[in-house]
Structure 1
Amino acid sequence: MKIGIPKEIKNNESRVGMTPAGVFELTKNKHTVYIETNAGFGSGFFDQDYKDAGAVILNTPSEVYAAANMIVKVKEPIQAEYNLIKPHHVVFTYFHFASSSELTNAMIKTGAVCIAYETVESEDGSLPLLTPMSEVAGRMAIQQGAKYLEKPIKGRGVLLGGVPGVPPGRVLVLGAGVVGIQAAKMAAGLGAHVTIMDINMKQLRYVNDIMPNHVVTEFSSEYNIRKRITNHDLIVGGVLIKGAKAPKLITRDMLKDMRPGTVIVDVAVDQGGCVETSKPTTHEHPTFIIDDVVHYCVANMPGAVPYTSTLALTNVTLPYVMKLANLGWEKACEKDQTLAKGLNIVNGKIVYKEIEDAFNVVLN
């Protein structure tokens, strides 16, 4: 198969869809890989690395799309890429369709096969292609939250770990999934007091077993959330409903109950956000302030650490890319139900129920 890896052009997105090691495995299996020049530069991988791995370097994205049958990316296509995608393409990337009607309609119009990393689902309900980026984002949420708590950036002026004689900062984590657990682990490591909330008691028991004593669990309800936001310094939104919009756990009226300079890091923003006032931001302009509450809502957080992220992503995507390349998308999805759940749009038709529900359209 002919596989294309274009350069990511979303604001400050430095990851790339495949490492040279991944390209080597594909070319070893007699597939042709086309990669746009400098596509890996931001992640620390250079054109010569890809050439040595057997890739063909092309100068423009239009050449890559024209040469390839399957496109492997990191982030969803943006407007400049819509017209490059044709009916014969299989596009394998993060899409998060439920948060964007524009993207959904654009991909329907292309007639392409859209397979979303974030909905590839194992039998146990885990999301193998979302997990590594959720791990990165969860850990980064505390890094970024700690920074934006600093007073020069309009935060409360709180050091999360505290110092002798001064109590540590308080972190509220909404969601005890991959993002939430990684955020809690990092916050606990800094010495912060952490409260992690979820509606899944089995998951809360697991967190209670593995975390130190200064990480406490609490059942998630509007009453409990309203109570906790009044005295926590950093709030991390790590809620996920597979393929669907995130529920709004913090509403606009709740902001008035938070102390000035409280920081919200809404990791769920790429699925619409779990905070009503969230809107996607970029690494260039990562924050905004509403009612004296600092909102950090970067939709591609792992893009800030592209070397780590690209390696972690290729580790999990490569086996699926190989199946798609070896068998074609139809046979690959027929043989692998985990991969089949990644099918979101096929030849102009939505085939994933949660996206249908998000836009209230009829499944074909």
Structure 2
Amino acid sequence: MIIGVPKEVKNHEYRVGLNPAAANEFIQHGHTVLVETHAGEGIGFSDDDYELAGAQIIDTAKAIFSQAEMIIKVKEPQPFECEMLRPDQILYTYLHLAPDPVQTELLVKSKAICIAYETVTDNAGTLPLLAPMSEVAGRMAIQAGAHYLEKAQGGNGTLLGGVPGVAPGNVVIIGGGVVGTNAAKMAVGLGADVTILDRSLPRLRELDDIFNGRVRTVYSTTDAIAQYSAQADLVVGAVLIPGAAAPKLLTRKHIANMKKGAVVVDVAIDQGGCFATSKATTHQEPVYIIDDVVHYCVANMPGGVARTSTLALNNATLPFGLAIANKGAEQALKDDVHLANGLNVYKGLVTCQGVVDALGESLNLEYIPALQAIS
């Protein structure tokens, strides 16, 4: 199979779909890998590195899309990239379609086979291709929050760890999954006062054991969110419903009742955000202020530490990518129900329930289960 790796084009996005080592794995299995020139240079992977790995360097994204049978990316394709897709071509990347009607419509129109990293599952019921970026984003959320709490950045001037004789900052994390757990690890490490809210009692018990009393675990209700967000210096939104739009758990009223100069970091922004006041930002302009609360809603947070993120992502995506290349998309999807859960669009059919729930009425979409669509 001919594998194409275009350069990412989103604002300050330096990650790359395949690093040289991952490209070499495809080549060792008999596949051809085409990499757009300078695709990895922003994180230290030169064209020479790719050529040494056996890949071919191609001058333009247009040439990559025209020749490749499978496109491997990191971020969702931009409209001009969607328009370069052709029927039966495989797209393997993050998609986050539920809050993005334009991309959804273009991918349906392309009749390509679109597999989303974020909805691939595993035997444990987790999301193995989303997990590494969730780990990165959770840790970055505290880093970013601590920075924007500085007075010069618009924050209230609180040091999360405090100092002897001065209380630490108050961190509230809504959601106790991968993002929330990693955010808590960073916040606890800094010495902050940490509260995690979640609606799963088993998960709250696990978190209590993991942190051995160093965090406060609270069952998430509307009242609890109102109470704890009002006390917070930093709120991290870490809620995910796989494939679906994120629920708006922090309302405009909650935001208005927060401390002046508090910071909110919405890690769910790729799925539309879990705060009512959230709107996607970029690494170039990462924050805005509403009701004296600093909002950090960067839609590609892990792109800020792009080398670490690329290596972590490739470790997770490589086995599934090789299965697709070795067997062909249809056979790979039939053989692995977890990979089939990653299929979002198949030759004009939408195969992800969450996308149809979010956009079905406005775009006149019908849900077709993945294996039914393939057959």
TM-score range, shorter chain: over 0.9
Equivalence for 2:181: 181
User: 1:87, 1:10 → 2: CA distance?
Assistant: 24
Give the 5 Å matches for 1:231-250.
231-250=231-250
Deviation (angstroms), 1:42: 1.4
User: 1:339, 1:355 → 2: CA distance?
Assistant: 17
Aligned length: 364
Q: Percent same amino acid among aligned pairs?
A: 53
Deviation (angstroms), 1:28: 0.9
Give the 5 Å matches for 1:310-321.
310-321=310-321
Which of 352, 361, 366 aligns to 1:362? It is 366
User: 1:329, 1:254 → 2: CA distance?
Assistant: 46
Equivalence for 1:11: 11
**Structure 2 residue 322 is the aligned partner of structure 1 residue 305:** no
Deviation (angstroms), 1:269: 0.5
User: 1:171, 1:207 → 2: CA distance?
Assistant: 16
Q: Which blocks of at least 5 consecutive residues in structure 2 are unaligned?
A: 369-375
Give the 5 Å matches for 1:1-364.
1-360=1-360, 361-364=365-368
Q: 1:112-155 CA deviation, whole Å, 9 max, x = no partner?
A: 01000000011321000000000000000000000000001110
TM-score (norm 1): 0.99
User: 2:63, 2:278 → 1: CA distance?
Assistant: 37
Deviation (angstroms), 1:354: 1.1
Q: Secondary structure at the match of 2:194?
A: strand
User: 1:55, 1:230 → 2: CA distance?
Assistant: 53
TM-score (norm 2): 0.96
Deviation (angstroms), 1:82: 2.0
Partners of 2:237 and 2:268 within 8 A in 1: yes
Deviation (angstroms), 1:84: 1.1
Runs of 4+ that moved beyond 3 A: none
Deviation (angstroms), 1:202: 0.6
User: 2:262, 2:212 → 1: CA distance?
Assistant: 24
Partners of 2:230 and 2:254 within 8 A in 1: no
Deviation (angstroms), 1:254: 1.4
The Cα RMSD (Å) is 0.8
Deviation (angstroms), 1:352: 1.1
Q: Secondary structure at the match of 1:295?
A: strand
Q: Which blocks of at least 5 consecutive residues in structure 1 are unaligned?
A: none
Partners of 2:34 and 2:56 within 8 A in 1: yes
Q: 1:50-88 CA deviation, whole Å, 9 max, x = no partner?
A: 000000000000011111000000000012212211113
Q: Secondary structure at the match of 1:99?
A: coil
User: 1:213, 1:161 → 2: CA distance?
Assistant: 17
Deviation (angstroms), 1:212: 4.2
